[in-house]
Protein backbone atom coordinates (compact mmCIF):
# COMPACT_ATOMS: atom_id res chain seq x y z
CA UNK A 1 0.00 0.00 0.00
CA UNK A 2 1.41 3.41 -0.90
CA UNK A 3 2.66 5.58 1.96
CA UNK A 4 0.23 8.36 1.03
CA UNK A 5 -2.74 5.99 1.41
CA UNK A 6 -1.56 4.94 4.87
CA UNK A 7 -1.20 8.52 6.02
CA UNK A 8 -4.57 9.61 4.62
CA UNK A 9 -6.47 7.37 7.04
CA UNK A 10 -7.82 8.88 10.26
CA UNK A 11 -5.04 9.63 12.73
CA UNK A 12 -6.99 7.97 15.55
CA UNK A 13 -6.52 4.64 13.82
CA UNK A 14 -2.80 4.99 13.16
CA UNK A 15 -0.29 3.50 15.53
CA UNK A 16 3.28 4.70 15.45
CA UNK A 17 5.76 1.93 14.89
CA UNK A 18 9.10 3.27 16.06
CA UNK A 19 11.11 0.10 16.58
CA UNK A 20 13.02 0.64 13.36
CA UNK A 21 16.79 1.14 13.62
CA UNK A 22 17.72 4.73 14.46
CA UNK A 23 18.98 5.50 10.95
CA UNK A 24 15.38 5.12 9.69
CA UNK A 25 12.52 7.41 10.51
CA UNK A 26 9.49 6.07 12.36
CA UNK A 27 6.81 4.69 10.05
CA UNK A 28 3.10 5.05 10.58
CA UNK A 29 1.25 1.84 9.78
CA UNK A 30 -2.52 1.38 9.93
CA UNK A 31 -3.06 -1.30 12.58
CA UNK A 32 -5.49 -3.35 10.47
CA UNK A 33 -2.79 -3.72 7.79
CA UNK A 34 -0.54 -5.66 10.15
CA UNK A 35 -1.00 -9.45 10.27
CA UNK A 36 -0.34 -9.54 14.03
CA UNK A 37 -0.48 -7.16 16.99
CA UNK A 38 1.68 -7.11 20.10
CA UNK A 39 -0.35 -7.70 23.24
CA UNK A 40 0.15 -4.13 24.44
CA UNK A 41 -1.02 -2.72 21.11
CA UNK A 42 -4.03 -5.06 20.97
CA UNK A 43 -4.86 -4.06 24.53
CA UNK A 44 -4.72 -0.38 23.57
CA UNK A 45 -6.87 -0.93 20.47
CA UNK A 46 -9.54 -2.91 22.33
CA UNK A 47 -9.28 -0.74 25.48
CA UNK A 48 -9.08 -3.83 27.71
CA UNK A 49 -6.25 -5.27 29.79
CA UNK A 50 -3.75 -7.81 28.54
CA UNK A 51 -5.23 -10.20 31.10
CA UNK A 52 -8.62 -9.79 29.45
CA UNK A 53 -6.98 -10.60 26.10
CA UNK A 54 -5.59 -13.82 27.57
CA UNK A 55 -9.05 -14.67 28.93
CA UNK A 56 -10.60 -14.04 25.50
CA UNK A 57 -8.00 -16.33 23.91
CA UNK A 58 -8.73 -19.03 26.50
CA UNK A 59 -12.45 -18.76 25.62
CA UNK A 60 -11.69 -19.08 21.90
CA UNK A 61 -12.53 -15.46 21.05
CA UNK A 62 -8.97 -14.48 19.98
CA UNK A 63 -6.13 -16.28 18.25
CA UNK A 64 -2.59 -15.95 19.60
CA UNK A 65 0.59 -16.96 17.79
CA UNK A 66 4.22 -17.25 18.89
CA UNK A 67 6.78 -15.50 16.72
CA UNK A 68 10.42 -15.07 17.70
CA UNK A 69 9.56 -15.70 21.33
CA UNK A 70 6.77 -13.11 21.40
CA UNK A 71 3.07 -13.73 21.93
CA UNK A 72 1.08 -11.88 19.28
CA UNK A 73 -2.61 -11.50 18.50
CA UNK A 74 -3.84 -12.25 14.99
CA UNK A 75 -5.29 -9.00 13.68
CA UNK A 76 -8.18 -10.79 11.93
CA UNK A 77 -9.26 -12.38 15.22
CA UNK A 78 -8.93 -9.01 17.01
CA UNK A 79 -11.19 -7.35 14.43
CA UNK A 80 -13.74 -10.17 14.79
CA UNK A 81 -13.53 -9.82 18.59
CA UNK A 82 -14.22 -6.07 18.36
CA UNK A 83 -17.08 -6.63 15.92
CA UNK A 84 -18.80 -8.86 18.50
CA UNK A 85 -19.07 -5.98 20.98
CA UNK A 86 -22.63 -5.42 22.16
CA UNK A 87 -24.22 -2.00 22.55
CA UNK A 88 -24.19 -0.76 26.14
CA UNK A 89 -27.45 -0.71 28.01
CA UNK A 90 -27.94 0.34 31.63
CA UNK A 91 -28.27 -2.48 34.10
CA UNK A 92 -31.24 -2.95 36.41
CA UNK A 93 -28.83 -4.24 39.05
CA UNK A 94 -29.32 -2.28 42.25
CA UNK A 95 -32.60 -0.68 41.17
CA UNK A 96 -34.54 -2.21 44.08
CA UNK A 97 -31.97 -0.95 46.59
CA UNK A 98 -32.03 2.57 45.13
CA UNK A 99 -35.85 2.61 45.25
CA UNK A 100 -35.83 1.50 48.89
CA UNK A 101 -33.30 4.21 49.85
CA UNK A 102 -35.35 6.84 48.00
CA UNK A 103 -38.48 5.70 49.87
CA UNK A 104 -36.67 5.94 53.22
CA UNK A 105 -35.35 9.42 52.33
CA UNK A 106 -38.83 10.62 51.32
CA UNK A 107 -40.39 9.31 54.53
CA UNK A 108 -37.67 11.03 56.59
CA UNK A 109 -38.56 14.40 55.02
CA UNK A 110 -42.26 14.17 55.94
Q: Are 98 and 62 in contact (CB under 8 A)?
A: no
The DSSP code sequence of 45-100 is: HHTS-HHHHHHHHHTTSS-EEEETTEEEEEHHHHHHHHHTPPPP----TTHHHHHH
- Per cent of the chain over pLDDT 70 is 75
Residue 45 confidence (pLDDT): 95
Q: In this predicted model, what pLDDT tens digit does every residue of 44-69 receive, in sequence order?
A: 999 999 999 999 999 999 999 999 99
Is the pLDDT at 7 greater than 50, yes or no?
A: no
* Dist CA 98 CA 110 (whole Å): 19
Residue 28 confidence (pLDDT): 76
Is the pLDDT at 11 greater than 70, yes or no?
A: no
Between the CA of residue 108 and those of 47, 60, 98, 99, 104, what are the distances in Å?
44, 53, 15, 14, 6
Q: Where are the domains of the chain?
A: 1-33, 34-86
Question: pTM (2 decimals)?
Answer: 0.61
Amino acid sequence: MPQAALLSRPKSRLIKHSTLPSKHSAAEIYWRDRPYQQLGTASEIAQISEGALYAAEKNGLLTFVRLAGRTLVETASLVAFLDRAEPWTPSERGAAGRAKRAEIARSALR
